[in-house]
Chain A
Amino acid sequence: MAELAIVLQQIVAGLALGSIYGLVALGYNFIFNAVGIVNLAQGDFVMLGGYIYGGTLTLLLGLPFLPALLLTAIAMAIFGIVSQRIVYYPLRDAHPRMVMLSTIALGIFLKNISLIAWGTYPVSVSGLFGQRGLRIAGVSILYQYIFILVCVIILLAIQQYFFKKTTLGKSMRAVAQDRLAAMLMGIDAYKMIAITFAYSSTLAAIGGVLLAPVFMVSQVLANVGLKGFAACVIGGWGDITGAVIGGLVVGLVEVFSASYISSVYKDAIVFAILIGFLIFRPQGILGRATEVSL
């Protein structure tokens, strides 16, 4: 019985972590679907969102949760448009690899800027639920984790609907697949790309807001970007459901490999699996998506 509770707790922990990675993966996929590039600063966007929400709006200005969330989302949307203008637009006709390099530079810049702006102390905020949680049959779940999972499912549904059903979403996909053809359809490709960056930055902002109460906000938070990246590869690039499934897989692998193989090398195990996928199954678990050119 005790053993069962422990295994259940492991599964809960894996799913909780996994939904966080899935959330980050959704942000990656959004830009990938729209521009065909991987924004390697996505993790740093999450960190920045966390800092704006936790460090500035909550701790400094004392705003309650909802206004803080809203303002963070708006600030990050604007930031997304600005960074698109600086990082993507000048390189729009270059190889996607060049854009990815410039996103790496943006990530480094953001880490350093946040160090200057918010200092070295991790920012700790309680969010809506603090450290409160459920306890059922020896398994404990933080409310915050349930909240994250619910948010991820809602965002997944919204994103799925958005890309499949709305004209805006479809035209974003069209721009990603063939920018010239999309422009010949009358689509203002650069406006679409700006919207794409704005939305994916907003997703990152939500990620930062949701993560702040469980992981605190520090420069290390940007590392969730790597796990989100792994989730995208495992789930298949561009596949929205795949991203969330990939996230859950990464979360479960991390928890179980830490329990039964090595807690010290759990990240190495995740990345070994990532490399395995890149070599043997680059289209991801679901196998529907196209390959990303890196």
Chain B
Amino acid sequence: MLRLEKVNAFYGHIQALHEVSLEVAEGEIVCLIGANGAGKTTTLMSIMGVVSTPQGKILFEGEDITGRPTPSIVHKGISCVPEGRRIFPQLTVMENLDMGFYPRRDRPAEFEEDLERVFRLFPVLEERKDQLGGTLSGGQQQMLALARGLMARPKLLLLDEPSLGLAPLLVEQVMESIVEINKQGTTVLLVEQNALMALEISHRGYVLETGTITISGESGKLMADAQVRSSYLGT
């Protein structure tokens, strides 16, 4: 579904990604793990067209989307739940969800249906639908960010550090909902520092080190890999 071929990415003159190649097949949860600053977020931002990628190719459903403007990539069916959640603090929960629905605004009839779906996943959002986004707790904001991403009914959902800053109990809850989202038919590319969690719920994984993919394979195998264990799982 998504393929990156030898992608180089730059922030100004600083090269953040070195020939990164990865693939996500339809129906999968693929995780991208790595230390802080390894280039995980940059990879997602490159896919979304936010970071410039002068070399390499990004293909989505066989179509070259390299260098396309962000809104057109979103309209193709990729949604991104960015790092730090970035919900709209001065919009209500409902309005935030409405913004998530933006790529499909020409089909207002489906709005209610999608709303029900995300409310089933995150019932707390329904309780707080008229509250301003900025007044929600961290966990609720993360749920809102996920729900907002789902409102676009994306084919591929990019998740950037969904567990960051959450209490362990909430982390588990969020991970469960990711599995649930995937089961309902959304392909997921998950970026996580919490490697154990990420590997537990994903089918396959990539390890990113200073802008280069070093190890990749099925999640189960990665969890058994000695190097991964010592560097990322702390065992």
Residue of B nearest to A164 (CB): B95
Cβ–Cβ contact A173 & B88, under 8 A: yes
- Compute how far the CA of A238 lies from the CA of B89 in the bound complex, rounded to whole angstroms: 14
Interface residues on B, range: 20 to 34
Q: Is the interface of A mostly helix, strand, loop or mixed?
A: helix
State in angstroms the CA–CA spacing of A264 and B74 once bound together.
58
* Distance (whole angstroms) from the CB of A49 to the closest CB of chain B: 29
The interface residues of chain B lying within 8 Å CB-to-CB of A167 are: 98, 102, 105
Interface string of A180-221 (1 = CB under 8 A from B): 111111111000000000000000000000000000000000
Contact check: which of B50, B74, B90, B91 meets A186 at CB < 8 Å?
Answer: B74
B162 CB–A CB distance under 8 Å: no
- B95 in contact with A185 (CB, 8 Å): no
Interface residues in B22-81 (C-beta closer than 8 Å to A): 48, 50, 69-71, 74-75, 79-80
Contact call B86/A185, Cβ cutoff below 8 A: no
Do B82 and A181 have beta carbons less than 8 Å apart? yes
Residue in B closest to A184 when the chains form the complex, CB atoms? B80
Tell me if B88 and A178 are in contact (CB < 8 A).
yes
**Once the chains bind, are B88 and A174 in contact (CB under 8 Å)?**
yes
A131 at the interface (CB under 8 A from B): no
B148 contacts chain A at the CB level, 8 A cutoff:
yes
Show the binding face of B for A, using Cβ within 8 Å: 48, 50, 69-71, 74-75, 79-80, 82, 86-91, 95, 98-100, 102-103, 105, 148, 152
Closest 3 pairs (CB-CB, A-B)? A186-B74, A181-B86, A186-B103
23 contacts between A and B (CB under 8 A): A170-B95, A170-B98, A171-B99, A173-B91, A173-B95, A177-B91, A178-B86, A180-B50, A180-B82, A180-B86, A181-B82, A183-B71, A184-B48, A184-B70, A184-B86, A185-B102, A186-B71, A186-B74, A186-B102, A186-B103, A187-B102, A188-B69, A238-B90
